[in-house]
A and B are shown apart, each in its own frame.
Chain A
């Protein structure tokens, strides 16, 4: 099984993204796609520590920042949890318990995608010059906003976690393309 890390993918590409001050790979996360109605969104609070947000394109994060629920659609969320390795089955078992009586779909997608972080005062500029067509002005895309969108020819999930920091979720098979594209875009900013 894949280990959820980007390193094996990047090891096979000629791109060295670790050298950039703007771009870094994130540690492996556990991920689930949750589908269901408003009752499902509220019910996960007890098991997951945060309720799934009902507001379009917004995220909710627990107190210590180890878990997050991202709105992707009116009945669809991406759940992210730090992988502490100690009790790998835990969040999912708890979620299944509180959701048992509700119509829903909960699918583990931990290894479907990997995460990159784009940070620095130029981060929005880098993403825009790297092929993301969204308006990333803090007024239009504030901290906590998240959405599926495109970066060049790949689909990504973009989440602004801090004013200058974006969390980018990308499918494993697109990861080399996306990181190569962003690494190329940084050259115009760093040189």
Chain B
């Protein structure tokens, strides 16, 4: 079973978690000044990275917190997990 390292609870089994999509997607600061195309891109367009990908996870059957993770999409290997609000670690530093 895949173990995911929750920044609060430590290593826990995958069934306790839910995936939350791409991380670090910033909401436009002034939505009313954003045109439809930009808004649609913010809402719907996501990277489809082959390799190291920053994504949100939620420890929904644990502490309930959202956090971020760097995962290699080709191997399913979690390189690092970090609390929401913390900067994305450099992949080489996290290894």
Q: Determine if A25 is an interface residue (Cβ-Cβ < 8 Å).
A: no
Complex contacts, A134 vs chain B, CB 8 Å: 12-13
Q: A56-B8, A74-B8, A134-B12 are in contact. Are A148 and B65 (CB under 8 A)?
A: no
> Does B28 lie at the interface of the complex (its beta carbon under 8 Å from any beta carbon of A)?
no
Q: Which residues of B in the span 3-35 have a Cβ within 8 Å of any Cβ on A?
A: 8-10, 12-13, 15-16
Contact B1 A133 (CB under 8 A): yes
- Residues of B close to A149: CB separation below 8 A: 12, 16, 61-62
Cβ contact within 8 Å between A133 and B15: yes
Check if B61 sits within 8 Å of A73, measured CB to CB.
no
Known A-B contacts A57-B9, A73-B8; A148 and B63 likewise in contact (beta carbons under 8 Å): yes
State whether A56 touches B9 (Cβ < 8 A): yes
Q: What secondary structure prevails in chain B residues at the interface with A?
A: loop
Pick from A72, A76, A149, A155 the residue with the most CB of B within 10 Å.
Answer: A149
In the complex, the answer to whether B61 meets A56 with C-beta atoms within 8 Å is: no
* CB < 8 Å neighbour of A72 from B12, B13, B16, B64: B64
A147 interface residue, CB < 8 Å from B? yes
Q: A103–B35 Cα gap in the complex (Å)?
A: 39
Instruction: Using known A-B contacts A56-B8, A73-B8, determine if residue A133 contacts B63 with beta carbons closer than 8 Å.
Output: no
Q: Which of A115-173 contact B (CB under 8 A)?
A: 133-134, 147-150, 155
Instruction: Contact check, B1 vs A147: say whether CB atoms are below 8 A apart.
Output: no
Contact A72 B63 (CB under 8 A): yes
State in angstroms the CA–CA spacing of A73 and B6 once bound together: 11
A147: nearest residue on chain B (CB-CB)? B62
Chain B 55-82, CB-CB to A under 8 Å as 1, else 0, gives: 0000001111100000000000000000
Q: What are 25 residue pairs bridging A and B, where the CB atoms are less than 8 Å apart in the complex? A: A56-B8, A57-B9, A72-B63, A73-B8, A73-B63, A73-B64, A74-B8, A74-B63, A76-B64, A133-B1, A133-B13, A133-B16, A134-B12, A134-B13, A147-B9, A147-B62, A147-B63, A148-B16, A148-B61, A148-B62, A148-B63, A148-B64, A149-B12, A149-B16, A150-B15
In order of increasing CB-CB distance, the 7 nearest A-B pairs are: A133-B13, A73-B63, A73-B64, A150-B61, A56-B8, A155-B61, A148-B62
Q: Contacts A147-B62, A148-B64 given; 11 further ones with Cβ under 8 A? A: A72-B64, A73-B8, A73-B63, A73-B64, A74-B8, A74-B63, A134-B12, A147-B9, A147-B63, A149-B61, A155-B61
